[in-house]
Amino acid sequence: MIKEKKSIDKKVTEILEKGYEAHYMLRRVLQDDTLFLENKDIIDVIFIQRESMDSLEFESEPNSPARLLIATNYGILFMEEGFKEITDNYLGYKLKRIYYDKIDSVEIDICMLKGKFKILTGGKENFVVDFNTTDYFKQFEEFIKIIHDNIMERKQGFFTNFVKSK
């Protein structure tokens, strides 16, 4: 399942326009071809905004980091902002790249308004993303379909090559 390029470009533009709400590194990976990703390879993007308990009277520290999941032609790129300051302008971040052929399973657990998205590799949880089902369920549903289609395409290609070699 490949989404239209216009749809992806629109999602990327919306993330880039968030400014402070999107961590510098998350924006940079989407803006430029980097060591981690060539932008032409992006199939889908999910951006989960950081959550905090802000009110009109005080501003609190974030209690949930911003996260970015990118489905590419080769695998999944997962980024999460950290809260440790590197310099005045930059906070730390986590980055994981998982190739489709390394994925054992993908799970999505839904309970009322809370959802969990998990990717397992080597029999262990590689990463888990908690999300609000009201805001992100449809996006995760589409994301899982993309992962499934890419895994099946690779297995089918492997099987075809295996049969040809016999």
Domain boundaries, the chain: 5-165
Taking the C-alpha atoms of residue 64 and residue 144, their distance in angstroms, rounded to an integer, is 22
- Quick one: angle between helices 5-16 and 24-31, nearest 10? 150
Q: What is the pLDDT of residue 54?
A: 57
What are the Cα distances from residue 142, in Å, to 9, 34, 111, 129, 156?
16, 25, 18, 15, 21
Q: Band of the pLDDT at 118, cuts 50, 70, 90?
A: very high
Share of the chain above pLDDT 90, in %: 22
Q: Is 0.75 surpassed by the pTM of this model?
A: no
Question: Which one is predicted more confidently, 145 or 51?
Answer: 145
5-165 CATH fold:
PH-domain like (2.30.29)
